[in-house]
Chains A and B, each alone.
Chain A
Amino acid sequence: MILDVKKYAFINAKLRARISKIPDAPFYDRLLRAKNLPEAMGLLKNTSYTEIYRVYEKTGDLKMAEKKLLEHEIDLFVDIQKYVDGDLLHIVRALSLRFEIENVKNAIRLFFDQHIRGRSILESGAYLVTKTVVHDINFDRMINANNFIQIRDLLQHTPYAKMINDTRQSVEQKKSLFDLEIGLDRYFYRNLFEKLDKLSGLDKKYADRLLGVEVDLQNIAWLVRFRDFYKFPASRAMRYLIPRGYNLSHDTLEQAYAGHDVTFLLKHVLGANYAGLSTMLSAQESRQTSRLAILEQVLDKILSIQVKRVLSGYPFTIGILLSYFILKSNEMKKLKTILNAKQYKLANERVQGLL
């Protein structure tokens, strides 16, 4: 126990202070009620997002503001790396890889658009976040590479080179980055679970639970994509899923994908632990996609319940760090969704469904 206190006291106190600054639901409501993007941005002034407001005020460019937001988040995670060591540092780095992987994906997409699809990416490069997260990567050279071999060479010192090598031919043949991108996402979770597997006791319990629900959510989001955009058969869709989900087994997901009554299945899976969610589960939807969307909403709720439990429990565990990571990801997602919705003038009801 003393070791736990020594390991987590400082970093968890710091993260708790940061968690307390994460905006609450009324803030997002106010943002959502704003008439347009300039009004929504105005609400960010004098908040922790004031820098984002300033960028928008100067450029009128939402993408520049989003870039600032992402850079700010990366700074926070890089900052956390300074305060931890040993296993914890490896876990923080593994968590931070999500930002790096997103940046690598974005850089490859730009390269792909320019070289394979022959599209202009002239101003798009400026929106790319090039900050170092874990590995030192020259994104500018990546965008300007002549072929995938050059990109692979530029990433030789990172784990991504192997993935590019493995998927290069299929990407070039199919003219699609699908295999590479899904490979990168799967790597993120595989690497993270490898680091988390070294934990024990309460740390392990919290990690399995929080990351497990996160994996459930990721799998559901992918299934929706596979069904709506790629029209994959079930056998292929299941192949891509990330193992180690918490509530949804492979079978449950397969049945959900095949259009079975997943709400019935979920009720059994969740049992009495989440009695409050029964109303959401009772909603009967005929379309498979809607059912999957309900599943996603339920899992999102479960994740926030789990995070609340962790935050009100024993304070010296990895749970606080993982909760911070999850809450921050949610915060970014919500903020970006609302601001983009304002930019493209989407109806509030539609946006609410996306939050």
Chain B
Amino acid sequence: MFSRPMVRVFGVVLEQYSDALTRILLRRGVLHLVKMANLGDSVDDRLSDIHPRVTRTRAVEIRKRIENFVRPLGIVPDIPENVQIQPVDEDDIDRHSSFIDQISQDLENIRSRQQMVNQEILKLEDIQTQVQLYGLKVNPQAMESRYSFVNMQMGKISKHNLTQLENNLKKFPAVFMNVGEQNGDVHLFLISIKRDWESIQKVLTTAGWQPLELPDQMDRHRRDIAGDIDDKLAYLNDELKKLESEAQIRVQRDEETLTDIWVRMRTFELYTRVQDYYKKSKRTVLFTGWLPLAKKDVLEKEICRVTKNSCYLEWLSVSQTTKLGAGENSAPTLMNNPKLLEPFQMLVTNYGIPRYGSIDPTPVVVLTYLSMFGLMFADVGQGLVIAVAGLLGRRIQKFHKLATLLVWCGLAAALFGVLFGSYFGMQWFRPLWFDFHGIVTGHVEAEAGMRSIFDILKLTVIFGISVIGLGLLFNWINLFLQRKWFELLLDRGGLLGGWVYAAGIYSAWYLVGHDYRSLPPLFDLVRLLGVPVMLFFLKGPLHYLIHGKKFHPMAVVDFVMEWIVELLEVFSGFLSNTLSFMRVAGLGIAHVSLMMAFFNIAAMVSGPGDALSVWGILVLVLGNILVILLEGLSAGIQALRLNYYEFFTKFFHGTGRLFSPISLKTKD
């Protein structure tokens, strides 16, 4: 519920150990470094920054170029546990840079070849289109003049040279067709691009080509030519694919070296990032940062070891550092939740980071979020489908947390499905708690505890009151820990606000319990609501007194106005927050109603009788899919909204800073 206790270290080591210190800080990865400059005037002007021998920008550029090569192949480089953190100099950077330039150049060459092949394909496709559009009915002379880029030739070669010619013509966008044989010679009709004619002519001469007159009518051969073009296109497309693979193979060939360079550049980048936080004097290096108290002894020992005890470390508790000011100097928050709860921690951090020392609501969000989702989407079958989808989605690293959240939500839906007896919208087993479907359809047993939709609404309002009450309690604890007594007593989220909320609940319950005919007795109303309302009025003047402000008559008007506004906010805020939880019932009812609608449609398409037809089953399957997608999404969003706006706003300000040490595993 609370973040891990932190401790601040101020350290001084001899400059000769600066390198060893950086390595150990990187390896341990437990220190959230703070820039010495943030200490303000206490930092001496004689201290200077550490400048690495090589600029980080060049290393980052090389790393990013490598990522650009390997990521399209699905390779995500990572720093191994036992990595050697080596120094990097300009020569290394130049060497790596030219190595990458070479790969880049090779890739560019491959892409150029791809482009050439692609253009040949385009030309051939154009010939194909022309042949398909116009056939070869037209007078060849006209064809030649109109499409001056297309060359058509009729000729013959010896049958023995045919294979050789076929092979030699493969590299050109040309098609030829065998139109007949005579005296051991094959008669061929050849279409090619004029641009290539010179080269093709050489190939033809080698094969013993003898030109013949082009016949006027070639249309009967149109199909054969189209077939030849198809073959040629298939060949070129195959070539294109090969080149595409060649580009991948080129990168894969040097994958190991590229990964090694990536690791080296990345470690150097992180190394210099750690050193950015240092300040140095003539002989010493100074650093400061936060680390979890539990890691203090290990880090202290390690630093002393690598510096051969030539270091001075001063450890300060959080309370001892308050005089350093807020912002970067305040303690960061390291949330203390088991890995299992990661998806819920994601929901919390998406809203904000809890301030150090305040309550981290993650464990409570597990309960509130899942129970809200379960109440809105209660079905065993549909829940298990979501859980399975989540389990499958967990394989994708990018969606791991979200998919795990889906698993949780699916299981919660299944649990509530068992409680309400819903299995893909059907009641295969008796509900363990109450019959949600029966209540919505109006077919519920007379002796059942929950009988009407109003009972469900009441349940969700009670649930809402509990959640809001818990939010107020957390706020009181936070205010108590921060010793903010004034806010704890008189704020609308403080004890006085809680009093008003409790009194409001009592009054509303009394009104409902008396059939909306009478309010609590006047004395009770005055005691329960009148007193805190008047106490709220004291807030303004007391604040004035505590802060020693000079009184002026207009301040009274301010007090009254602030008081009225505060009362409006308190009453309307608590009322709307509580009623907001009725959406849980609303979505639950909508879920059941949608399933009912699909059952009715299935019955209608199946015709008379109890049995469902194939179409009826199909309607139910599609209906379930639609409900899972539509209702699942809206239940997820509404549960999140209720947590953020009705629960978190009571106590959670999200003004903390996340504990982010620089380590070999740092991703950004």
Q: Give the interface of A toward B (CB within 8 A).
A: 30, 33-39, 42-43, 45-46, 56-62, 64, 118, 120, 122-123, 125-126, 140, 144
Q: Which of A30, A35, A58, A122 has the most CB of B within 10 A?
A: A122
Q: Who on chain A is nearest to B70 by CB?
A: A42
Q: Which residues of B contact A122 (CB under 8 A)?
A: 122-123, 126, 149, 193
Q: What are the residues of chain A within 8 A of B68 when measuring CB–CB?
A: 34, 39, 42-43
Known: A59-B118, A122-B126, A122-B193. A38 touches B111 (CB 8 A): yes
Contacts of A37 in B (CB 8 A): 108, 111
Which of the 9-residue segments B240-248, B429-437, B581-589, B603-611 touches chain A? B240-248
Q: Which of B65, B111, B133, B243 contacts A56 (CB 8 A)?
A: B111
Q: A59-B115, A60-B117 are in contact. List 6 more A-B contacts (CB 8 A).
A: A30-B64, A34-B68, A38-B107, A60-B113, A60-B115, A122-B122
Residue of A nearest to B149 (CB): A120
Known contacts A58-B240, A60-B243; decide if A38 and B114 are in contact (CB<8 Å): no
14 A-B pairs within 8 Å (CB atoms) are namely: A30-B64, A37-B108, A38-B247, A39-B68, A39-B107, A42-B68, A60-B117, A60-B118, A120-B149, A122-B123, A122-B126, A125-B126, A126-B126, A144-B133
A125 to B125, CA, bound (A): 10
Residue A35 contacts which of B101, B123, B244 (CB distance < 8 angstroms)?
Answer: B101
| Given known A-B contacts A38-B104, A123-B119, A59 and B240 have beta carbons under 8 A apart | yes
Q: Does B441 contact A (CB under 8 A)?
A: no
B152 to chain A, nearest CB (A): 14
Chain B 112-134: CB-based contact to A (< 8 A → 1; otherwise 0): 11110111001101100100010
8 smallest CB-CB distances across A and B, nearest first, come from A60-B114, A60-B111, A120-B149, A123-B122, A126-B122, A42-B68, A59-B118, A60-B115
**A58 and B65 contact, Cβ closer than 8 Å, known pairs A45-B72, A122-B126:** no
User: What residues of B have a CB within 8 angstroms of the CB of A39 in the complex?
Assistant: 65, 68, 104, 107
Give bound CA distance, A60 to B241, whole Å.
Answer: 11
Bound complex: CA of A57 vs CA of B241, how far in Å?
10
Judge whether B195 is part of the interface by a CB distance below 8 angstroms. Answer: yes
Are B247 and A57 neighbours in the complex by a CB distance under 8 Å?
A: yes
Query: In chain B, residues 325-369, which have Cβ atoms closer than 8 Å to a Cβ of chain A?
Result: none
Instruction: Tell me the complex Cα distance, A199–B431, Å.
Output: 62
Most chain B CB atoms below 10 A, which of A34, A57, A60: A60
User: How far, in whole Å, are A328 and B105 apart by their CA atoms in the complex?
Assistant: 32
B-side contacts of A36, CB under 8 Å: 104-105, 108
Give the residues in chain A near B19, CB-CB below 8 Å. Answer: none
- Residues of the A chain whose Cβ atoms lie less than 8 Å from the Cβ of B529: none
| A144 CA to B72 CA, complexed, in Å | 40
Bound complex: CA of A293 vs CA of B244, how far in Å?
41
B167 contacts A by Cβ under 8 Å: no
Is B69's beta carbon under 8 Å from chain A? yes
Residues of A within 8 A of B126 (CB): 122-123, 125-126
Chain A residue nearest to B106 (CB atoms) is: A38
Chain B interface residue bracket vs A? 35 or more
The answer to whether A45 and B118 touch (CB under 8 A), given A38-B104, A126-B126, is no
Q: Which residues from A are CB-within-8-Å of B72?
A: 42, 45, 57
Determine which of A34, A59, A62, A126 lies in contact with B125 in the assembled complex, contact meaning CB atoms within 8 Å.
A126
Closest residue to B61 on the A side, CB-wise?
A: A33
**Other-chain residue from A35, A45, A126, A140 in contact with B65 (beta carbon distance below 8 A):** A35
Across the interface, which residues of A come within 8 angstroms of B107, CB to CB? 38-39
Q: Across the interface, do A57 and B244 meet the contact criterion of CB distance under 8 Å?
A: yes
User: How far is A39 from B247 in the complex, measured between Cα atoms in Å?
Assistant: 12
Residue on B nearest A140 in the bound complex, by CB: B129
Interface assignment of B253: CB less than 8 Å from any CB of chain A: no
Complex Cα spacing A125 to B65, Å: 35
A61 touching B69 in the complex, CB below 8 Å, given contacts A123-B119, A123-B123, A126-B126: no
B149 in contact with A38 (CB, 8 Å): no
Task: Decide: B112 and A60 in contact? CB cutoff 8 A.
Answer: yes
Given known pairs A45-B71, A57-B244, the reply for A118 and B148 (CB within 8 Å) is yes
Indicate the member of B61, B69, B149 with the most A CB atoms within 10 Å.
B149
B143 CB-CB contact with A under 8 Å: no
Cα distance A61–B110 when bound, in Å?
11
CA distance A118 to B617 in the complex (A): 65
Given contacts A37-B111, A42-B68, contact A64 B104 (CB under 8 A): no
Min Cβ gap B117→A in Å is: 8
Residues of B within 8 A of A144 (CB): 133
The residue of chain B having its C-beta at the shortest distance from the C-beta of A345 within the complex is: B108
- Distance in angstroms between the alpha carbons of A60 and B112 in the assembled complex: 6
Taking CB atoms, residues of chain A closer than 8 Å to B193 are 122
Closest B residue to A144 by CB, please name it: B133
Bound-complex Cα distance A140 to B112 (A): 28
A265 to chain B, nearest CB (A): 42
Which of B72, B101, B119, B240 counts the most A-chain CB atoms under 10 A from its CB? B119
Closest to B194 in A: A120
Chain A residues with CB under 8 A of B122: 122-123, 125-126
Q: Do B118 and A61 have beta carbons less than 8 Å apart?
A: yes
Q: Which residue of A lies closest to B69 (CB)?
A: A42
In the complex, chain A residues whose CB is within 8 Å of the CB of B104? 35-36, 38-39
State how many angstroms separate the Cβ of A277 from the closest Cβ of chain B. Answer: 31
Name the residue on B nearest A56 (C-beta): B111
Min CB distance, B130 to chain A, in Å? 8
- B129 to chain A: which residues have CB within 8 Å? 140
User: A175 → chain B, closest Cβ, in Å?
Assistant: 18
Residues of A within 8 A of B149 (CB): 120, 122
Contact of B110 among A30, A60, A123 (CB under 8 A): A60
